[in-house]
Structure 1
Amino acid sequence: MNARELVILALQASIIVTVFGFGLRATMEDVMYVFKRPALLLRSVLAMFVVMPIVAVVLAKVFDFRFAVEAALVVLSISPVPPLLPRRHDKAGGKASYGLGLMVTMAVLSMGVIPLEMKLLDMFYGRSYSIQPEAIAKIILTAAVLPLLAGMLCNRFIPKLAALVARPAILIGEWMLPIAGVAILIAAHRALGAVLGDGTLVAIVVFVAIALVVGHWLGGPDPYEREVLALSTACRHPGIAIAIATANSVPGEPNLVPAAIMVYLLVSLISTVPYVKWQAKRLGAGK
């Protein structure tokens, strides 16, 4: 196992630990929140798995990226909600149950949606984005479903232990993610100029801004649900995106796609700060 593989493994481990930490605090009501609201589920799927992939393809056509950046943006647009968002939803005043339920719902749906969307991208876009459905299912189960289930079972049968380790687990996962992200960027530092060129940063900011608008608009009349969907549409699961993109990496440029994805993660986190502060102030004033 080389250094690059170790770093990606650390990234995936950070996500698993974070999801496990949320599972230690989750209830079945949280998990089923979106499934019990069909209209909200439909709007969430439309925002994340229909509108944003179209936006990604249009931006890739307009900016004429190199393949590594193009692949990063496309696979991010079809990746599910990252496990870091429930805490950001809390900071912005969002609805925690919807944030957690959306993370689980989109993860489960991704096992069928991602392979289908990749085939549609092949037909429409003229690029070959391929990964086996079994591989997608394995990634989703490992990174989202099983850690959450393990945390919930611990909370159900060993509540004292769950209460003791929930916060440390989430904090460990949150600290491991940026460390792994920085390591990925360092590993690809020689090629970062190529990743950041050709209007890439501008395109990422535009993509995030459109995602916030789409999610906010489709979030419905509840301002708390609107905030959750806006952030969830703008921020995607880096571990799953990297796994998909790595399977479609350019020969001789294995570090470029993960680096582009981490650049997106960093830019999206920074770009959404004004929205988070605006929502926190707005929702706080409405209480």
Structure 2
Amino acid sequence: MVTVPVDAIVDAATTVFVLSTMLAMGLELAPAQLVNALRRRRLLAKSLLVNLVLVPLVAYAIVRLIPMSTGHAVGILLIAMAPGAPFGPKIAEISESDIAFASGLMAVLGILSVVSVPVTAALLIPGDVTADPLGIAQLVVAVQLVPLVAGLAIDVRYRAVSDRLYPPIQRLSDYSFAFLLVLLVVVYADDMLRLVGTGTLLASSLIVVAALLAGYVLGGPTRTTREVLATTTAARNAALALFIATTSFSDPTVLTMVLAFSFIGVFVPVAVAGAWRRRPRSDGRLVET
């Protein structure tokens, strides 16, 4: 009987999750949403600044200030430099914010991350860690840009096909995410528990809160775009970070840190979005949950 290594199962599950998620994102995204995001040039510029520059720099400063192992620092930096969480529009839906802008921004960040992630990795990853920016760029193109663009192209050219493909692809993304989450928790539960008291969870929380505040401040004059930029910035692209961690770094603490950060990066924005959903309306009533 052939025994399949756990690492190989994690790699395969991560690949399926990322590819199906990016393809579903492309199939669901309306081209008008992408165009609308591009037209809001000032807001888009601030969105790119906070997502591609400020959050990675804040993460770099924090991992330098709080003592931690190199592997943990790399894991934190890796997810901090991965923008464009696929579930950004879902969080916007929870807070009843600008879903169209959230979808367009998610697509723009997904495309630009092909350049931003390898460049940021080359600049910020500690010098004693072997990181291949070109290899990371190829990974981002293969697992994020190609399925995203393919989904967009199918949606534009063959809308009926897109409508039929989206439900099963989205279900594959959901099921693979659930499977991957359980698998990673089972495999790395002890490693994540050992993070308690190391300062790494504090560092992750500080980065997420800083990203949330920076996004809200730079999110423009309207409440709905401030909320979108806040939650989109705080919720980093865990799918991409997990894939890079499993394929480009041999140190298991990198993946452990990405996973731990991911939990914080999902919980905080969703909790804040839920609180915003119950904000008072102009007439003093609460929004129904």
SS of the residue corresponding to residue 188 of structure 1 reads helix
Q: Name the Cα RMSD after superposition.
A: 2.6
Pairwise CA distance, 1:87: 1.7
Residue aligning to 2:258: 261
Does residue 280 (structure 1) correspond to residue 274 (structure 2)? The answer is no
Q: Aligned-pair distance for 1:185? A: 3.0
Give 2:17's aligned amino acid.
Answer: S
Percent identical residues? 22
Could you say if the C-alpha distance between residues 139 and 103 of structure 1 is closer, same or farther in structure 2, counting changes exceeding 3 Å? farther
**Residues of 2 paired with 1:63 and 1:105: CA distance?**
32
- Of 86, 90, 100, which residue of structure 1 is paired with 2:89? 86
The residue type paired with residue 273 of structure 1 is V
Residues 24-70 of structure 1 deviation map (CA, whole Å, 9 limit, x = unaligned): 23222222333222212221121112211122122212321122221
Are 1:28 and 2:31 counterparts?
Answer: yes
1:248 deviation in Å?
6.2
Moved more, 189-198 or 20-29: 189-198
| Partner SS state of residue 274, structure 1 | helix
Partner of 1:2: 5
1:116 to 115, 119, 123: 119
Aligned positions of 1:116-195 closer than 5 A: 116-121=119-124, 127-128=128-129, 130-133=131-134, 135-195=135-195
Instruction: Name the amino acid aligned to 1:19.
Output: M
Give the deviation of 1:231 after TM superposition. Answer: 1.4
Distance 1:283 1:232 in 2: 22
Evaluate the alpha carbon distance shift between residue 21 and residue 283 of structure 1 in structure 2; reply closer, same or farther with a 3 A threshold. Answer: farther
1:183-209 alpha-carbon deviations (Å, 9 max, x no partner): 123223343333333122222222211
**Most deviating of 50-59 and 237-246:** 237-246
Which 5+ residue runs of structure 2 have no aligned equivalent?
none
Aligned to 1:49: 52
Q: Sort the Cα spacing of 1:255 and 1:203 in 2 relative to 1 into closer, same or farther, 3 A.
A: same
Aligned residue among 96, 104, 116 for 2:107: 104
Per-residue CA deviation, residues 191-234 of structure 1 (Å, 9 max, x unaligned), is 33333331222222222111111111111112222222111211
Q: Report the AA paired with residue 122 of structure 2.
A: K
Name the amino acid aligned to 1:132. P
Q: AA paired with 1:169?
A: I
1:16 to 15, 19, 32: 19
List runs of 5+ in structure 1 lacking aligned partners.
none
Q: What are the superposed Cα offsets for residues 94-136 of structure 1, whole Å, 9 maximum, x if unpaired?
A: 22222222222122222222233233325xx655462232x33
Residue 254 of structure 2 aligns to a residue whose secondary structure is: helix
Query: Aligned partner of 1:51: which letter?
Result: L
1:201 corresponds to which residue?
201
Distance 1:179 1:285, change over 3 A: farther
Alignment-mate amino acid for residue 186 of structure 1: V
Give the 4+ runs in structure 1 shifted more than 6 A.
none
Q: Following the alignment from structure 1 to structure 2, what is the Cα–Cα distance between the partners of residues 137 and 248? A: 11
Q: Cα distance 1:284–1:273, how it changes in 2: closer, same or farther (>3 A)?
A: farther
Mark the CA change 1:149 to 1:121 in structure 2 (over 3 Å): closer, same or farther. Answer: closer
TM-score after normalising by structure 1: 0.85
- TM-score scaled to structure 2, two decimals? 0.85
Q: Which moved more, 1:151-160 or 1:15-24?
A: 151-160
Measured in 1, the distance between the counterparts of 2:111 and 2:64 equals 30
